[in-house]
Each structure stands twice: as structure tokens, then as C-alpha cells.
Amino acid sequence: TAKLLPSDPTVWKRFGSSVSLQNDVIIVGDEADGFSGGETGAVYVFGFNGLGWTQLQKLVGSNSQPYDRFGSSVALQGTELVISAPEREVGTIDRVGALYVFRLNGALWQEHQYIVSPAMEVQDYLGKSLALSGNLLVAGAPSNWGSSAHVFVRSGDTWTFAHRIVPSSTAIQIEFGTSVAIRRSSIFVGCPNDMVIAGPEGIESGGAVYGFEPDGGQGGGAP
């Protein structure tokens, strides 16, 4: 019924790297936008006007740099939009990743907060995956050096870092954080390279999903 294209199509774009849909709004990430400048990335906002979808806005980070891959993941909830730039360099730490929070102000989305994790490590790729629900935000960080997922909670009008979660298993979780999901206060993290299957060469990758609950019990969400 529809095929959406950006207003500035060029070769080497990756329009559709991520998508989030709510009511009459579609958010589309393009992690390779600005290829000539080094895959900075951008996000496009489309609205439904009763007849079809039209582009309303193109978003970029206020401090975006080449190779950030802004728009790799997007998460939309009400008048709030979270966008990841998983290959952003923070200080002198390579490919740590960062998150951008946009809020709807009138008819336009405006940047509200820039987030980096205090638990960041080199090549974390924070935001390779995103999940947003209520006052809970989870960003996957499938690093080659110690995969994890970072949890943020809303405090007033601002998101603050809560903790970094890792699986209790002693297996190798190189890709832990490749995907994330939230159900109430329960967090589920995908690890497609989890070493759990006995193969001809011993234990090989088969994949797993890990479920987490807040300390103290179910916390309002059973897996």
C-alpha cells in the first residue's frame, strides 16, 4: 500500500536501517546518510495526511560526526523519540556509542538530551538495539570486549543511567545485546552467538535470550 523514500535519495544510503511506528507517525533511520562525509546518519519523520505518507522532517544529532551511524536504532513512544549512534566516539574512546532523545515541540521534533553511559567501554556499540517503555529505556551494547545492555530510567524530564546488565552464564556472549525488549519491568536481551549447543567441535554458537527482573521480585512484570 505504500513505499516510502527520503526526499534526498542518493547511492550508498541505508534508508530503513531502523523503523518505529506509532499511530500516524513513522520514524525511519538511515545509518549511512552523508556517505561522502563518512556515514554520519540521519532519521526521517513521516506523517499520514489521510491520503498517504509524507516526509515532515529530517533529524540529525546536534554534535554528529562522520561514522557515528546516527539512526541505527530508533524507539518512539508518545511525544518522545530515542535515536542511537552506536559507533560514536566519546572523548578518545572509540565506538562507544551514544543516545539522543528528541521531544515533539508543536509540530517539530527537537533534540532534548544527549546520553552517554558512565559504564562505557571501548567498542561498546551502545544502542545497536533499543527498547523504550514507560519510564524504562534499554540500549543493547554487543561489544566484542564485553557485551552488555545498559538500563536508563526517567527521573522527572531526564533519563539517567541505572545499571549495566550482563548474563550470569559463563558461556561466551559476544553478541549479548544484539536485540532488546521490555515487558512492563521485565527486560529481555538477545544473544544470537551464545555458546550453548553441543556440536561436532564441542560447544558452538546456538543463540539464547536472557530475561531480567528488577531486584526484589517480579516488579510488576512476569516473563
The CA R_g of the chain, rounded to the nearest whole Å, is 18
Q: State the average pLDDT over residues 18-33.
A: 96
Closest CA to 147 of 180, 105, 183, 101: 180
Closest residue by Cα to residue 180 from 125, 124, 127: 127
pLDDT at 81 over 80: yes
Confidence of residue 126 (pLDDT cuts 50, 70, 90): very high
Residues 135-147 have pLDDT tens digits of: 999 999 998 777 8
Instruction: State yes or no: pLDDT of 189 exceeds 70.
Output: yes
pTM for this model (two decimals): 0.90
Contact assessment for residue 73 and residue 85, using Cβ atoms and an 8 Å cutoff: no
pLDDT at res. 196: 64
Distance (Å, whole) CA 88 – CA 97: 5
pLDDT of residue 143: 83
Question: In terms of Cα–Cα distance, which of 54, 45, 52 is closest to 26?
Answer: 45
Tell me the C-alpha distance between 31 and 40, whole Å.
Answer: 7
What is the model's pLDDT at position 206? Answer: 78
Cell numbers at 60, concatenated: 540529525
* Least confident window among 41-50, 112-121, 173-182, 209-218: 209-218
Calculate what percentage of the chain has a pLDDT beyond 90: 67
